[in-house]
């Protein structure tokens, strides 16, 4: 065999191993690049999802505002009815309430009914 050929093979082997030794961070750089790309894809997907949810959120806020207005109106009505209930069931005002809501009066009083005035021609 030719000694030059053997030395050529050794050189090639050394050059291949030298190439791998020359850039030892190549795998780490590829991994980091892949992670960055995937992170950007996930971030873009999240932003797109937020833009799709924005109209739904705004419509829900409008419905919530409408419901709050209705709740305030209902609270005012309930407060008025509670006052009226307390007024109607007040034991000290039984006599005046009876006169107010019915035709009954005390024996020593009589009802007066006003007639509309007649216009003169």
Instruction: Give domain status of residue 51, yes or no.
Output: yes
Six token digits for residue 121: 């021609």
Range of the domain at 58: 25-101
Instruction: Give domain status of residue 92, yes or no.
Output: yes
Nearest to 33 by CA among 23, 41, 22: 41
How far apart (Å, rounded) are the C-alpha atoms in residues 26 and 18?
14
Tens-place pLDDT, residues 49-70: 999 999 999 999 999 999 999 9
Instruction: Give domain status of residue 106, yes or no.
Output: no
Instruction: Give domain status of residue 91, yes or no.
Output: yes
Structural domain total, the chain: 1
Instruction: Give domain status of residue 30, yes or no.
Output: yes
Q: What percent of the chain has pLDDT over 90?
A: 46
Nearest to 108 by CA among 97, 95, 92, 94: 95
Tens-place pLDDT, residues 59-106: 999 999 999 999 999 999 999 999 988 887 877 877 777 777 777 667
Instruction: Give domain status of residue 11, yes or no.
Output: no
Instruction: Give domain status of residue 73, yes or no.
Output: yes
Instruction: Give domain status of residue 34, yes or no.
Output: yes
CA 80 to chain centre: 31
How far apart (Å, rounded) are the C-alpha atoms in residues 75 and 64?
16
């Amino acid at each position: 065999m030719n000694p030059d050929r053997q030395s050529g093979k050794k050189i090639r082997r050394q050059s291949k191993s030298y190439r791998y030794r020359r850039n030892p961070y190549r795998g780490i750089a590829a991994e980091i690049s892949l992670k960055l790309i995937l992170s950007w894809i996930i971030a873009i997907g999240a932003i797109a999802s937020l833009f799709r949810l924005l109209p739904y959120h705004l419509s829900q806020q409008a419905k919530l505002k409408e419901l709050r207005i209705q709740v305030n109106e209902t609270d005012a009505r309930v407060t008025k009815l509670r006052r009226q209930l307390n007024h109607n069931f007040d034991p000290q005002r039984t006599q005046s309430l009876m006169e107010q809501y019915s035709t009954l009066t005390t024996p020593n009083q009589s009802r007066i009914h006003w007639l509309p005035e007649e216009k003169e021609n």
